[in-house]
Amino acid sequence: MFQTIQIGLTTLVQLAELLHTPAVSQVVVLADENTVRECLPLVEPHLPAGYRLVEMPAGEEYKTLDTCQLLWAELTELRADRYAVVVNLGGGVVTDLGGFAAAVYKRGVRFVQVPTTLLAQVDASVGGKTGVDFMGFKNQLGVFQAAAAVFIDPRFLRTLDPRQLKSGYAEVVKHWLIADAEAFERNRYVGIMVDDWTPVIEESVALKQRIVEQDPLETGLRKLLNFGHTVGHALESYLLQQPGREILHGEAVAAGMVCETWLSYHRGLLSAAELDKIETFLFSIFEKVQFVLLETEAIADYALQDKKNTGSIINCTLLEGIGHGVYDQPVTLAEIVEALRYYHRLPG
C-alpha cells in the first residue's frame, strides 16, 4: 500500500497542483468545526473555486455512520462522479471517517489526507486504514484504502492545545518502543519540548511506512503498530460510553502502553529496569487515566472485540526489549484485568 506522502511547508502548493487538473471533476472538503475555524483559512487559497465544504461536529463520538451520511448526501446532491476528490482536513477522526466514506461512495472515489494534528500526521492519515466506530467499539467498521496522497504541513500543529499535541506524541513514542530503541534513548530526555516537529514527523512516518509497505493488509508485521492499542482501545471505548469521562485516543494509547509494557515484563520478555524506564518516561508526559478498580473487568471486556483477535483468543503486541515489538502474543482476559489493576495501583 504505497502512498505519496509530502511533508513540509510547501505541501499545500503540491495539494493545489493535484486538485487543479482536468482529471478532477469536483472537490469536496470534509472538516470538523475546529479545523474549519483554525485550519481552513490556511488551505482555502490552494483549493479550486467552487469546492464544497462539509462540516462535521468535532469529537470521537461523531465518528459514526450517521456522520458519513453527511458526506454521502453532499456527494450525491453534487452528483459527484468517480473523478471527484474528497479532501479530509482534520485530525484522526476526520481522516479515518472521510477515507472510509470516500472509499465506499460509488465503490470508491479518490481522497487526500491533510492531517492537522500530530496524531493524524504521524499515524492516522498514513497507511491506508479507514473506519468508523460502531456500537461503542473503536473502528469496528472500515476498509484498507490508500489515500491518493497525504500532505503534512507542520504549521497546523501551532493550532493545537498541549493536550492534543501530547495525544499525538503517544503514537510517536509507540513507534520508538516497537522498532527504534536508539530514537527512544535520544528523545526521552527531550519529551514534547520540540521547536521544530518536522524531523520527528519525518522519522515517525518513515518508520511506519517501512512496516506498512511490507504488510499493507495487517496480516503479520503491521500488527506491531497496535502496541498499546489492545488495552488502550478497550479503555477508550469504555470511557466513551461514560458521559463526561471521554479521553483522547493518544491518552488511551499511553495508558495501554503502560499496561502492555507490564504484560511484557510479566511474561519475562522485558526487564524490570526497562519497565521502569518506559513507565517513568510515559508518566513524565501523560497524566494517569482515572477509573475505579471495580471497572477493570468491564473495561477488559472490550478487548474481546479487538480486531487482532483470532476467535476467542486476544492477540496482543508486546515488547521483547525496548525497540523490539513482537506481535500475535495471546493474552487472557484475566491478564488484561491484572494489567489494568497494576496501572490503577501506580501513583499519579
- 47 — alpha (psi -120 to 50), left (phi > 0) or beta? beta
CB 29 within 8 A of CB 87: yes
Q: Strand, helix or coil at 94?
A: helix
Active site residue 245: no
60, 171, 260, 335: the catalytic one is 171
The Cα–Cα gap between 240 and 112 comes to 28
Which residue among the candidates 63, 188, 249, 308 is catalytic per the annotation? 249
Which one is catalytic: 63, 229, 260, 338?
Answer: 229
Alpha-carbon gap, residue 169 to 194, rounded angstroms: 11
Q: Tell me, yes or no, if 246 is annotated catalytic.
A: no
Distance CA 88, CA 319 (A): 34
Tell me whether residue 344 is one of the annotated catalytic residues.
Answer: no
Amino acid at 83: Y
Q: Are 130 and 173 in contact (CB under 8 A)?
A: no
- Residue 229 annotated to the active site: yes
CB 327 within 8 A of CB 317: yes
User: Which three-class secondary structure state does DSSP give residue 205?
Assistant: helix
Residue of 166, 175, 188, 222 with catalytic role = 222
The one catalytic residue in 110, 129, 138, 175 is: 129
Alpha-carbon torsion 62, 41, 102, 203, what sign? negative
188 given a catalytic annotation: no
CA distances from 93 to 17, 274, 324 (A): 26, 33, 29
Q: Per the residue annotation, which of 166, 175, 188, 208 is the catalytic one?
A: 208
Residue 341 is a catalytic residue: no
Question: Is 208 annotated as catalytic?
Answer: yes
Catalytic annotation on 171?
A: yes
Contacts by residues 207-210 (CB-CB < 8 Å, ≥ 24 positions apart): 207/175, 207/179, 207/180, 208/122, 208/123, 208/126, 208/127, 208/175, 209/3, 209/5, 209/126, 209/127
Catalytic residue among 34, 88, 175, 218: 218
Helical H segments across the chain, by residue range = 11-19, 33-38, 40-43, 65-77, 92-104, 118-119, 162-179, 181-187, 198-214, 229-240, 249-266, 272-285, 296-301, 333-345
Residue in 138, 188, 226, 274 annotated catalytic? 226
Active-site residue identified among 174, 188, 233, 308: 233
Question: Which residues are tagged catalytic?
Answer: 107, 129, 171, 208, 218, 222, 226, 229, 233, 249
